[in-house]
Amino acid sequence: MARFLAWRLAQSLVVLALMSAVIYGLIGLMPGDPIDLALSADPRLTPEDIARLRALYGLDEPWFQRYLAWLGQAMQGEFGYSRLFAAPVLSALAEPLGRTLLLMGGSFLVALLVGLPAGIIAGARPQSRLDYIINFICFAGVAMPAFWLALLLILLFAVTLQWFPASAVALEPGLGPQLYHLALPVLTLGLLQTGGITRYMRAAMREALAADHIRTARAKGLGEFSVIWGHAFRNALIPVVSILALDVGGLFSGALIVEMMFGYPGMGKLLFDAVMGNDYNLALVALLFGTGVTLAANLAADSAYAAIDPRVTFGGLEDA
Q: Which residues make up the interface to other proteins (CB under 8 A)?
A: 11, 15, 19, 23, 26-32, 126-127, 131-132, 135-136, 139-140, 142-148, 151-152, 154-155, 159, 199, 202, 206, 246, 248-250, 252-254, 256-257, 260-261, 268, 271-272, 275-276, 283, 286-287, 290-291, 294-295, 298, 317, 320
Nearest distance, CB of residue 171 and other proteins, angstroms = 19
* Minimum CB distance to other proteins smaller for 61 or for 222: 61
Nearest distance, CB of residue 220 and other proteins, angstroms = 27
Nearest distance, CB of residue 79 and other proteins, angstroms = 17
Nearest distance, CB of residue 173 and other proteins, angstroms = 26
* Minimum CB distance to other proteins smaller for 76 or for 162: 162
| Among 10, 16, 34, residue whose Cα is nearest residue 75 | 16
Residue 270 and residue 84 in contact, taking contact as beta carbons nearer than 8 Å: no
* The residue type at 16: L
* Minimum CB distance to other proteins smaller for 186 or for 270: 270
* Minimum CB distance to other proteins smaller for 12 or for 235: 12
DSSP state of 247: T
Nearest distance, CB of residue 298 and other proteins, angstroms = 5
Residue 109 and residue 182 in contact, taking contact as beta carbons nearer than 8 Å: no
Task: Please name the helix (run of DSSP H) or strand (run of DSSP E) that holds residue 87, with its range, or none.
Answer: strand 87-88
| Residue 181 Cα distances to 120, 168, 186, angstroms | 31, 5, 9
* Minimum CB distance to other proteins smaller for 190 or for 290: 290
Could you write out the three-class secondary structure of 32-76? CCHHHHHHHHCCCCCHHHHHHHHHHCCCCCCHHHHHHHHHHHHHC
